[in-house]
Amino acid sequence: MAISSLSVTEANVAVFRRAIDEGWNRGNLAAIDELFAPDFVEHQAGIAPGRDGVKGSIQALRAAFPDLHLTVEDAIAEGDTVWLRLSAKRHP
């Protein structure tokens, strides 16, 4: 299903699923610039706000755990807010 045929809420979840796969699992930081709005705000403690903070977080996590693989177990969204429950394991 194309993202354009999804509701806004479904599209937001699809964007975050892709961000996890492209950014965290594959280390493609350019995907963060493509997927996250320039005025994106990160609300997780310890991470700088904006896309650069997210990219820095990805780089740090991948440097510490290069074989880490994140899986989206649950996704909940309302409007433009998305919550994800992730599991993490070593990728063979």
Would you say residue 28 has pLDDT above 80? yes
pLDDT of residue 4: 59
Average pLDDT over residues 48-62: 93
- Give the domain range for residue 18: 3-90
CATH number for 56: 3.10.450.50
Contact criterion met (CB below 8 Å) for 74 and 84: yes
Alpha-carbon Rg for the chain in angstroms: 13
Structure tokens at 91: 């990728």
Q: Give the pLDDT confidence score for residue 34 in this predicted structure.
A: 95
Backbone angles phi, psi at 91, to 5 degrees: -90, 125
Give the lowest-confidence range in 4-18, 25-39, 62-76: 4-18
H-helix or E-strand spanning residue 64: helix 51-64
Q: Number of folded domains in the chain? A: 1
Amino acid (1-letter code) at residue 65 = F
- pLDDT higher than threshold 80 for residue 3: no
